[in-house]
Structure 1
Amino acid sequence: MALFPEQRKRTSAPEFMQAPGEITFEQIRERAYDLWERNHRPDGFEIEFWLTAERELKAERDNKQNQLVVKQGKSSPSRLISQKDLSTHA
Structure 2
Amino acid sequence: MAPGPDDASAPLAGPDAISFEQIRERAYELWERNHRPEGFEIEFWLLAERELRNERERRKAAHEPAPSGLGPPSG
Which TM-score applies when normalising by structure 2?
A: 0.68
Q: In structure 2, list runs of 5 or more residues that go unmatched.
A: 1-7, 71-75
Match of 1:74 in 2: 66
Structure with the greater alpha carbon radius of gyration: 1
Residue correspondence of structure 1 range 11-90 to structure 2 within 5 A: 12=9, 20-69=15-64, 73-75=65-67
Percent of residue pairs bearing the same amino acid type: 64
CA distance in 2, matches of 1:21, 1:61: 8
Deviation at 1:21, TM superposition (A): 2.1
Counterpart amino acid of residue 24 in structure 2: R
CA distance in 1, matches of 2:61, 2:9: 25
Following TM superposition, the consecutive aligned residue runs of length 4 or more in structure 1 with deviations greater than 4 angstroms are none
Which TM-score applies when normalising by structure 1?
A: 0.58
Q: Indicate the SS of the match to 1:74.
A: coil
Q: In structure 1, list runs of 5 or more residues that go unmatched.
A: 1-10, 14-18, 81-90
Counterpart amino acid of residue 27 in structure 2: A
